[in-house]
Amino acid sequence: MDVHRNIRLLYIFNFLTDFKLWAAVAVLIFSRESGSYLGGMAVFSVMTLSSALFEIPTGLISDHFGRKAGIISGAASALTGSLFFALDNGYASLLVGAAFFGLSASIYSGNNDAFLYDFLKSRGEQKEYAHYLGRVSSMFQLALAISAVAGGILASVSYSLVMWLSVIPQLGCFIIAFFFEDTAVDTRRKDPLLQLRAAFREFRRNPVLRKISSASVIGHSFGEAGYQFQAAFFATLWPVWAIGIAKTLANLGAAVSFHYSGRITRRFGRLKSVIFTRLAGRGLHAAALLLAGPVSPLLIASTSLMFGVQTVGENSLQQDEFSPRQRATMGSIVSLAGSAVFALASLLLGWLGDLLGIINAYLLLQAVLLIPAWMLYRVYRGRSSAAEDKAEKIRR
């Protein structure tokens, strides 16, 4: 088999997965249908609660039946979710579609990263994981960038058209999923309960993994809630059709960040890179909100230049700590926690937006997002102290 065939397919698959024309203006579509920001953000909560519900079962299934089966079932779920969104049968249809998208996300979360890692490991190339993860993940952002412009323009014409056209890429994912070749790493045919017990045992006895995973959960969940809420803030400064432009710039910046993330984390170190990007992102967001004006969406979009480095750095740190035989299950446990927190963060942010106003709610969010940087700094200090102790022993 061509060593890079699966990776080439991942490029296409990831692009189609996130080519969602509705994504850039989702909170506007959902809020219009529900009648409030709280109701609009509740759709995202349903999506993540569904993901949380299925996270661990889907991780166990991936470890038991293989990664390709996970990719196929995840694509089927996303296609079904797209169809429910497009049917436009009211708010209930959005909630059902969100549940299917949540199921798809739960399958992809632990499965697809494990697929890439196991594929590279089976060929002795696991040290290149961060490099390849950054490259294939850049396609998510490229798809979001292109779809944001088109979606923003089409949304000003018809929300229904946006939803129906978004079905086509998900159909493409479902077809492509059958062309992947499964990994040869033997992580199958294990008792699911033993797999789950072993995965939790790894978290209990590995404090570094707990800190890194907790930082990732808080950062991803509250950060994603803020990202989905951005359109509400942008709409107070720009016309609806222009919101897609800001989203496109953000996604293009993230694509560049993902593309070069492996090189950057190797040059400066993964922990240092993640801590810096988290702190810098909060500073830029705070400036954009405190000095709210026409330039604010562009300032917020610029933070995407750090997103890929941050995501790949955290992911590769976790993969190093994961147990090989429970890799997908452990990834699903982290995603489960992230989904549960995101569901709460989305509702909280929507409620605060209705209660305090969009800018004040968004500022409070930035304060919460300082917590992951502090947690990762503790890991960095711990490793630095350990290195200093080792060097002192050598000198003696």
* Tens-digit pLDDT profile for residues 19-63: 998 887 777 778 777 777 778 778 887 887 887 778 767 766 776
Higher pLDDT, 376 or 243: 376
pLDDT band at 288 (very low <50, low <70, confident <90, very high): very high
Q: How far apart are CA 318 and CA 207, in angstroms?
A: 12
Copy the structure tokens of residue 351: 């409620």
Helix axis angle for 129-155 and 5-17, nearest 10°, is 30
**SS3 category, 318:** helix
Q: What is the mean pLDDT of the chain?
A: 82
Q: Quick check: 226 and 365 in contact, CB under 8 A?
A: yes
Classify residue 37 by burial, with Cβ atoms within 10 Å: 0-12, 13-18, 19+.
buried
Structure confidence by residue, pLDDT tens digits, 142-173: 898 888 778 877 877 788 888 899 999 999 99
> In this structure, is residue 392 part of a structural domain?
no
pLDDT band at 212 (very low <50, low <70, confident <90, very high): confident
Sign of CA dihedral 256, 262, 267, 272: positive
Number of domains in the chain: 1
> In this structure, is residue 193 part of a structural domain?
no
| pTM of structure | 0.65
Q: How far apart are CA 73 and CA 177, in angstroms?
A: 9
> In this structure, is residue 190 part of a structural domain?
no
> In this structure, is residue 186 part of a structural domain?
no
Sign of CA dihedral 318, 323, 324, 327: negative
> In this structure, is residue 188 part of a structural domain?
no
> In this structure, is residue 53 part of a structural domain?
yes
DSSP letter assigned to residue 22: T
> In this structure, is residue 370 part of a structural domain?
yes
Q: What is the CATH number of the domain that holds 206?
A: 1.20.1250.20
**Structural domain that includes position 266:** 5-178+199-387
Region 204-225: mean pLDDT is 86
